[in-house]
């Protein structure tokens, strides 16, 4: 055996799984073929989402784990405790904000409705005439590529609870096939372990074609430095609707302030394109939507734009747990736009399953068996 666990994928989900497993004393080998996928392309938000009870449970538990991990991470991980303002454009959306407040507060998450005058004081760059907002102070932003690298650079147990230190080693190689306890690489060699965690995002489809994953293309843009122009992550209430559409193209207002003073601008979703090229009509539509909320955006310098692909499941919930047909194979896939937020909760569930230990988080809603028929 080359390791006790092999993790395929060094993005934020795979890195979190490797870290959590090593903290439990296991020898982990991470195999990855390069810096691509959703982690370097995404926004890096740490946000509680409540579209359904399972999503709320996973995202809220994950943020609690993130807070414990961030206390040990270095400054390069780019964490900002900026909070989120869910913007209500009209009275209907303000009622949606109030409903969201009820759900979050019932889950023990602090939040407050903000009236228009207070909203203008919090974020002067927003346009006038908005109906208000819901402020969620526990949300934040992290620079996910550096957070993933930090996690992979840790070995052993840094909490002092285990006597036997685990380890993480990283192999830069392309995986071409999986079999019982074995990972076959493109150079003809193989690695083996009793447990294999597949956390390779959309690339997992080539290794495990029975897994139901759909690509959702997204565009992002980033500005030059304008410190203080935006202080919170700003998201329109309509974002939730666009995030769960199953066809066509949609855009929604989502802007983040980065520690550099830059503004990261999103977001778009497409189902009819698997081409990574920037599509100028979609990018322009997304920027116009952002300018509807931030009128001064049109005067800013946009220095770069790019695209990425989210891996989504048919029901919008990730696949976390054992593959019901392949012994020793564990899935950590299909997180769509919440991969960074829920990486920590996913890692806890995967590690608890592999180590046959209890988890404070109920993982039954995310089990792959709901889509993959058991043998």
**CB-count burial class (<10 Å; 0-12, 13-18, 19+) for 355:** middle
Q: Give the DSSP H/E element, type plus range, for residue 206.
A: helix 204-207
Residue 156 belongs to what domain range? 5-72+144-212+315-370
Are 151 and 58 within one domain? yes
Are 187 and 293 within one domain? no
Q: What are phi and psi of 325, to 5 degrees?
A: -110, -15
Q: Which residue has the tokens 């993005």?
A: 11
Are 258 and 335 within one domain? no
Counted domains in the chain: 2
- Report d(CA 366, CA 323) in Å as an integer: 12
pLDDT score at 1: 87
pLDDT digits (tens, 9 = 90+) for 54-76: 999 999 999 999 999 999 999 99
Are 53 and 171 within one domain? yes
* Long-range CB contacts for residues 70-76, cutoff 8 Å, separation at least 24: 70/142, 72/158, 73/147, 73/150, 74/150, 76/143, 76/146, 76/150
Q: Which of 203, 171, 167 is nearest to 189 (CA)?
A: 171
**40: CATH:** 3.50.50.60
Are 15 and 130 within one domain? no
What are the tokens at 241?
């609707």
pLDDT score at 37: 86
Instruction: Give, for all 375 residues of the chain, the pLDDT tens digit.
Output: 899 999 999 999 999 999 999 999 999 999 999 877 899 999 999 999 999 999 999 999 999 999 999 999 999 999 999 999 999 999 999 999 999 999 999 999 999 999 999 999 999 999 999 999 999 999 999 999 999 999 999 976 555 444 467 999 999 999 999 998 999 999 999 999 999 999 999 999 999 999 999 999 999 999 999 999 999 999 999 866 555 455 578 999 999 999 999 999 999 999 877 899 999 999 999 999 999 999 999 999 999 999 999 999 999 999 999 999 999 999 999 999 999 999 999 999 999 999 999 998 999 999 999 999 754
Q: Determine, yes or no, domain membership for 375.
A: no
Are 127 and 161 within one domain? no
- Report d(CA 73, CA 68) in Å as an integer: 9
pTM for this predicted structure: 0.94
Q: Which of 260, 282, 264, 259 is nearest to 272 (CA)?
A: 282
Are 23 and 114 within one domain? no
Q: Determine, yes or no, domain membership for 258.
A: yes
pLDDT score at 248: 75
Specify which residues 302 forms β-bridges with: 223
Are 63 and 16 within one domain? yes
Collapse the DSSP code of 332 into the 3-class scheme (helix H, G, I; strand E, B; otherwise coil) and give the result.
strand
Are 298 and 343 within one domain? no
Give the residue from 312, 338, 354 where a domain finishes.
312
Q: Determine, yes or no, domain membership for 111.
A: yes
pLDDT score at 160: 47
pLDDT score at 165: 74
Q: Which of 39, 278, 46 is nearest to 150 (CA)?
A: 39
Collect all residues with Cβ–Cβ distance below 8 Å to 188 and sequence separation of at least 6: none
Give the residue from 264, 295, 312 where a domain finishes.
312
């Amino acid at each position: 055996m080359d390791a006790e666990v092999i993790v395929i994928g060094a993005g934020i989900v795979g890195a979190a799984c490797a870290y959590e497993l090593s903290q439990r004393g296991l020898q982990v080998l991470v195999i990855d073929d390069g810096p691509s996928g959703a982690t370097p392309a995404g926004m890096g938000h740490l946000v509680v989402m409540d579209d359904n009870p399972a999503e709320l449970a996973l995202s809220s538990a994950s943020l609690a784990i993130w807070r414990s991990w961030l206390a040990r991470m270095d400054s390069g991980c780019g964490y900002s405790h900026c909070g989120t303002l869910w913007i209500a454009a009209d009275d209907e959306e303000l009622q949606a904000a109030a409903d969201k407040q009820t759900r979050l507060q019932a889950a023990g998450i602090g939040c407050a409705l903000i009236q228009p005058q207070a909203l203008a004081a919090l974020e002067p760059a927003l346009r006038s005439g908005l109906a208000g907002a819901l402020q969620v102070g526990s949300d934040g932003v992290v620079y996910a590529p550096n957070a993933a690298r930090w996690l992979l650079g840790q070995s052993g147990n840094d909490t002092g609870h285990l006597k036997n230190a685990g380890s993480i080693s990283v192999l830069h190689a392309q995986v071409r096939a999986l079999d019982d306890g074995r990972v076959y690489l493109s150079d003809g060699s193989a690695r083996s372990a009793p447990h294999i965690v597949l956390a390779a995002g959309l690339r997992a489809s080539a290794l495990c074609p029975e897994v139901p994953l759909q690509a959702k293309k997204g565009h992002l843009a980033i500005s030059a430095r304008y410190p203080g122009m935006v202080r919170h992550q700003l998201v329109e209430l309509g974002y939730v609707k666009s995030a769960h559409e199953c066809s066509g193209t949609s855009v929604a207002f989502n802007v983040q302030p980065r520690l550099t003073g830059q503004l990261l601008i999103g977001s778009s979703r497409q189902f009819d394109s698997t081409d990574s090229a920037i599509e100028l009509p979609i990018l322009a539509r997304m920027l116009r939507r952002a300018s509807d909320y931030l009128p001064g955006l049109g005067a800013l310098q946009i220095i770069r734009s790019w695209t990425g692909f989210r891996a989504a499941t048919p029901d919008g919930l990730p696949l976390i747990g054992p593959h019901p047909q392949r012994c020793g194979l564990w899935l950590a896939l299909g997180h769509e736009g919440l991969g960074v937020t829920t990486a920590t909760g996913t890692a806890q569930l995967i590690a608890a399953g592999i180590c046959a230990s209890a988890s404070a988080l109920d993982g039954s809603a995310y089990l792959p068996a709901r889509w993959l028929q058991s043998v």
